[in-house]
Amino acid sequence: MTETEIKDAVVYCIVSTQSRISTVESFRKATKGKSIWNLTIPEIERILREHHIRFPQKKAKWIASLAGKEFLPKLRELAELRNRKLASSRKVRYLLKKQLALKGLGDKQVSHLLTKWLGFCNDLVPLDSRWDNFFRQHGLFEEHDDPRYVILEDLILALANEIRVSPAELDEVVWKMMG
């Protein structure tokens, strides 16, 4: 990929946050290869508004900040760390997010960049509310459940079961160790 293609991908990741896929795809088709990060913030904001992208003021600033960034050298460094294991993919995500230090690029967007656009870490998943909705629709979470809490609780239950203690006993030991 070229620097321009990478920046196009980063723009897509920024723009896709809390926006409908149809509006994001319309925006992408209209701006692909046009280096919109080189435009002024008001010009970028106008384009975002034309395509009904949410939060155009914030996103315009984030996109404009790409003008002075170089991605290829950082990606080459990270490619050397990648060993096709989930733990290394998570480390690559963390390091890329930290090295880029861009507003608007959190774990979800960096995961999206690494998987969909760069094909770099296909074992990462860009997590957002669609997963919460999907799991609720398929009965994996009840309406009143906090998915993060339930997932952590399930991990603790599995660990307790594996070491043959009750979850309460495991909680007591960890509480004493960590407290």
pLDDT at residue 148, as a whole number: 83
Cβ pair 7, 44 in contact under 8 A: no
Q: Are residues 88 and 173 part of one domain?
A: no
Task: Provide the Cα torsion 16, 75, 120, 64; round to 10°.
Answer: 10
- Same domain? 166 vs 95: no
Tell me: do 15 and 50 sit in the same domain. Answer: yes
Residue 123 lies in a domain: no
pLDDT number for residue 127: 84
The 10 Å CB-count burial string (b at 16+, else e) for 38-67 is ebeeeebbebbeebebeebeebbebbbbbe
Tell me if 124 is assigned to some domain.
no
Domain with 143 in it = 129-178
Provide the whole-model pTM. Answer: 0.78
Per-residue pLDDT of the chain (179 residues; tens, 9 = 90+): 899 999 999 999 999 988 888 999 999 999 988 999 999 999 999 999 999 999 999 999 999 999 988 888 888 888 877 776 777 888 889 998 998 888 888 899 999 999 988 888 888 888 888 888 888 899 888 888 888 888 889 999 999 999 999 999 999 999 999 87
For residues 112 and 135, state if they share a domain.
no
92 and 170 together in one domain: no
Claim to verify: residue 96 and residue 152 sit in the same structural domain? no
Q: What is the reported pLDDT for 84?
A: 66
Q: For 6-18, how does the pLDDT look when each residue is reduced to its tens digit (9 = 90+)?
A: 999 999 999 998 8
Residue for token pair 């692909």? 32
Per-residue model confidence (pLDDT) at position 159? 95
Q: Are residues 17 and 104 in the same domain?
A: yes
CATH number, domain of 58, equals 1.10.340.30
Q: Does 111 share its domain with 139?
A: no
Based on the structure, what is the number of domains in the chain? 2
Whether residue 93 is contained in a domain is answered as yes
Residues 142 and 110 in one domain: no
pLDDT of residue 49: 96
Rounded Cα–Cα distance for residues 5 and 87 (Å) = 27
Q: What is the pLDDT of residue 54?
A: 93
pLDDT of residue 120: 82
Please report whether residue 101 resides in a domain.
yes
* Residues 113, 80 share a domain: yes
Residues 110 and 137 grouped into a single domain: no
Asked whether the CA dihedral 137, 139, 141, 142 is positive or negative, the reply is positive
Pair 113, 165 in one domain = no
Structure tokens, 23: 């509006």
